[in-house]
Every structure is written in structure tokens, then in C-alpha cells.
Structure 1
Amino acid sequence: MTLQVSDENRVRTLTLDRPEALNAFNEELYDATAEALLAAAADPGVAVVLLTGAGRAFSAGTDLLEMHRMATDPDFVRGTHGFIGLVDALVDFPKPLVVAVNGLGLGIGATILGFADLGLMSTEARLKCPFTSLGVAPEAASSYLFPALVGRQDAAWVLLSAEWISADEARAMGLVRTVCAPADLLPTARAQAELLARRPIASLVAVKRTMTEPHRAAIRAARDRENAAFAELMGGPANLEALAAFAEGREPDFSGC
């Protein structure tokens, strides 16, 4: 299993569980997480979803070794939902989503915070949006959600630089609401999730809907622009150089790109 699911006090906890791969999303994990969100949305006994990771990472983003196979192997079989399906499930998820970043978060492990109703982060966690270092475009509507969350210049730095962002920087920007010592992260996240879960589910859904509805069309438009740009760049010279460098354990050389 790549995803652990547990229920307590109307909170469904989803734990990304590929610790040997730093919880990187392969097609199996994308499918499992999307299915879990769809199931939680439909379950009348679930009021809140809490998402976190097992081991020392939250998520290292998309599995780059699998991404390389997707870019080079015409016979690669994609999952049922994949990355796009997970983003759709996040866009449509009607209940509060609490994200507890327990360790490093790269790519979707960082941009998923754009969909968090409450974001928490361990003091030892770090975030990175490595798109320019991979020769690709932003993802998960982060080109729209991050400027809305943190302002244009902080968002531009996060999305353009591919540099690490500390927990304190993330809190100062507004990417997360709470920063905790590692041992306090999950208890704090669960306490906040359970507080929300004691409220009427219909009211929680109504509050979230009225907050997110004005942005839904813009989020979908941003996602479509990003997907088009990503498809254009994936498999291109810069992306293939980045993936080859990752597989070979060296720094990429973009001087010819």
C-alpha cells in the first residue's frame, strides 16, 4: 500500500506511505490519493481530511525516475487518475483539508498547500518548487494560487528560483498557518482538524464553497495553461537534461538550453 487511511472522530487521515522513495508520487500513489479524496468527499461520516507523510519526508513530488520513463517510453501505462486527476480531486474536494508537512516537500509536495484550508509545517521541514531546475512549467494551479496566497514577488521567487523555503519563511509568506516542533506537528494538526470536525458538516461545506467558488474558474484556467506548458516542455532538451542528470547523480547543465 502506498497510502494509509484511518478514521477517528470524523477526521480521515491520509498518510503518504512510500518512505523509501521519500513519498514521491508515482502513478499508483496519485491514483490512491485521488480515490481517497473522492471517497472522503462522498462519506457522510467524514468531516475533515488530514494529509501527511510517513517517514522523514512529506513528499518528494513526482517520481522522477517514473517521469523519465513516461517521457521516453511510448508503451508506458498511465494510471486511472494520475497527476491531473489528483489536482481535479483537490479542486473539487468540498470539505476542509488540513495538510501537515512533516518533512521535505517538493513539487506537488509543496504546491498542494495551495489547496489546504489549514497548512501546518514541522520546523525541520522544507519546501521547494523545482520546476525551472527540471526544465518544466508550474503545476497544480500554483501559478494562480501561490500569488493569491503569498503575493506576487514571494510567489515568483518560490516558482522561479527552485530554491528551498524554510518553515519560518513559509509561515511568514502565508503558505502555512502554523509551524510546530516535529513531535508536536501531528498532535497539533489533529487537534485543529478535530475542532473543525465537531462542527456541522453541511456548514463546513457551505463555508468552504462560498470561499472557493469565486476562484474555481480561475484555478481551472490556470491548471489548463500549466498543463499545456508542461506538455510542451516535458521531453524537451532542458527537461531531458535535468532527468538524465538526476538519474546520473550530477548537476544538470542548461548552458545549451
Structure 2
Amino acid sequence: MVLQISDDARVRTLTLDRAEALNAFDEALYDATTDALLAAAEDPDVAVVLLTGAGRAFSAGTDLLEMHQRATDPDFVPGRHGFVGLVDALAAFPKPLVVAVNGVGLGIGTTVLGFADLAFMASTARLKCPFTSLGVAPEAASSYLLPRLVGRQQAAWLLLSAEWITATEALAMGLVWKVCEPEDLLDEAHRHAALLAARPISSLVAVKRTMTAPLRAGVEAARELENAAFAELMGGPANLEALTAFAEGREADFTSLPPGW
């Protein structure tokens, strides 16, 4: 089992559970999380979804060993939903989504915050958008949602630098709503989720729809641009160097790439 699912007070908690891999998303976890979001969207007894991680990580992003296999193995078999399906489900999710970042969050472990209605973060957690260090492009409409969430220059630093962001920095820039001590994080996030879940689901859905509907065209346009750029760069010299270095346990060296890379 790669995803724990539990219900309490009309709040469905989804806990990413590949702790041995820092909850990195492989195809199985992408599929399980997508299926869980789709089911929660349709379940009349679920008012709010709370997303968090098991162990010491929230999510280390896409599983890089599997990404390396996907980039180099022509026989690789993707999942039913994959990354694109998860982002589809996040973008269309009609009910409040609360995210509790309990530990490190990389890639989708950070960009998911663009779809969060409320985000809580442990004081010891850290976030990173590692796209340039992997030789790829942004994802999950982050090129559109993050500037709206934190401002252009903060978003530019997040997306261009591939540097870590602390909980204090994430709170100051507006990437998360509240920072909690690690032992208090889940209780505090669930308390707020349950407060929302006590409201009429029809009203919650209406409020979220009116907030997100004006953004849909921008999200779709950003995703198209990002997906095209990602497809162009994945498997290219910079990406292969980054993935090979990760598989070999060394730092990537981009200094010998062809001109323009």
C-alpha cells in the first residue's frame, strides 16, 4: 500500500506512504493518489481532503530512479493516470484541499501547494523546486500559479534557483498559511479541515468554484507550455546528466554540455 486513506468528521486524510523513498511519486503512487482524489470528489460524505506524508518527508517529488528508467527504457510502461492525471485531478478537485507539509517537499511536493486551499507546514520542513538542477521545465502550472501566490520575483527564485526554502521563508512569501511545530502539525491541519467540513458541502463547492473558475484558462495554458518544454528537455543532455548523476550518487556536472544546454 502506497497511500493511507482515513475518514473523520467528513475530512478524508490521504497520507502518502512510500516512506522508504521519502514518499517520492512512482507511477503506483500517482495512480493511487489520483484515484483517491477522484473518489473523494464524488463521495457525498467527504467535505474536505487533507493531504500529508508518512515518515520524515512530505514528498521527494517524482521518483528519479523511475524517471531515469522512463527516459532510457523504450519498454517502460506508465501508470493509468501518471503525473498528468494527478494534476488533472488536483486542478478539477471541487472541494477544499488542505495540505500539511510534514517534511521535505520537492517538485510536486512543492508545486501541489498551488492547488491547496489551505497549506500548513512543519517548522522543520523544507521545500524545493529542483527543475533547473534536473535540466527540465516547471510542472503542474507552477509557472502560472506560483507568481500569483507569492509574487513574480519570489516565484522566479523558487523556479530558477533549485534552492531550498525554509518554513519561515515559505510563510513570509505566502507559500503556506501557517507554520506549526512538527508534533502539532497534523492536529492543527485537521482541526481547520474539520471546521470547514462542518459547513454545507454545497456551499464549500460553490465558494471554491467561484475562486478557481477564473484561473482555469491560465492553468490550462501554463500546463500546455510546461508540458511541451518538459517533453523537449526530458532525455536531453542536461536531464540525462542530472539523472545519471543521481543514479551514480554524484553531483551533476553541466559544464561540459553542448552549447545552449
CA deviation digits over 1:211-248, x for unaligned, max 9?
00000011011011101100000000000000000011
Q: Which residue does 1:42 correspond to in 2? A: 42
Q: Which residue does 1:196 correspond to in 2? A: 196
Counting only pairs closer than 5 Å after superposition, residues 219-230 of structure 1 correspond to structure 2 as 219-230=219-230
Counting only pairs closer than 5 Å after superposition, residues 1-257 of structure 1 correspond to structure 2 as 1-257=1-257
Query: What letter matches 2:36 in structure 1?
Result: A
Query: What letter matches 1:220 in structure 2?
Result: E
Separation in structure 2 between the aligned mates of residue 89 and residue 208 of structure 1, nearest angstrom: 15
CA deviation digits over 1:127-149, x for unaligned, max 9?
00000000000000000000000
Deviation at 1:256, TM superposition (A): 2.4
Give structure 1 regions of 4+ aligned residues with deviation exceeding 6 angstroms. Answer: none
Separation in structure 1 between the aligned mates of residue 2 and residue 112 of structure 2, nearest angstrom: 18
Query: What letter matches 2:52 in structure 1?
Result: T
- Percent identity between matched residues is 78
Query: What letter matches 2:117 in structure 1?
Result: D
Query: What letter matches 2:138 in structure 1?
Result: P
CA deviation digits over 1:48-98, x for unaligned, max 9?
000000000000000000000000000000000000000000000000000
Separation in structure 2 between the aligned mates of residue 48 and residue 76 of structure 1, nearest angstrom: 35
Separation in structure 2 between the aligned mates of residue 217 and residue 6 of structure 1, nearest angstrom: 33
Separation in structure 1 between the aligned mates of residue 126 and residue 110 of structure 2, nearest angstrom: 9
Separation in structure 1 between the aligned mates of residue 28 and residue 110 of structure 2, nearest angstrom: 19
SS at match of 2:67: helix
Instruction: Give the paired residue count.
Output: 257
Separation in structure 2 between the aligned mates of residue 179 and residue 100 of structure 1, nearest angstrom: 10
CA deviation digits over 1:177-212, x for unaligned, max 9?
000000010000000000000000000000000000
Separation in structure 1 between the aligned mates of residue 30 and residue 224 of structure 2, nearest angstrom: 18
Query: What letter matches 2:254 in structure 1?
Result: F
SS at match of 1:36: helix
Separation in structure 1 between the aligned mates of residue 219 and residue 169 of structure 2, nearest angstrom: 24
Separation in structure 1 between the aligned mates of residue 5 and residue 142 of structure 2, nearest angstrom: 26
Separation in structure 2 between the aligned mates of residue 185 and residue 227 of structure 1, nearest angstrom: 34
Query: What letter matches 1:166 in structure 2?
Result: T
TM-score between the two structures when normalised by the length of structure 2: 0.98
SS at match of 2:94: coil
Separation in structure 1 between the aligned mates of residue 39 and residue 225 of structure 2, nearest angstrom: 28
Separation in structure 1 between the aligned mates of residue 168 and residue 119 of structure 2, nearest angstrom: 13
SS at match of 2:30: helix
Query: What letter matches 2:195 in structure 1?
Result: L
CA deviation digits over 1:157-189, x for unaligned, max 9?
000000000001001111100000000100000
Separation in structure 2 between the aligned mates of residue 72 and residue 246 of structure 1, nearest angstrom: 14
Separation in structure 1 between the aligned mates of residue 217 and residue 84 of structure 2, nearest angstrom: 16
TM-score between the two structures when normalised by the length of structure 1: 1.00
Deviation at 1:31, TM superposition (A): 0.4
- Computed over aligned residues only, the root mean square deviation of the Cα atoms, in angstroms, reads 0.4
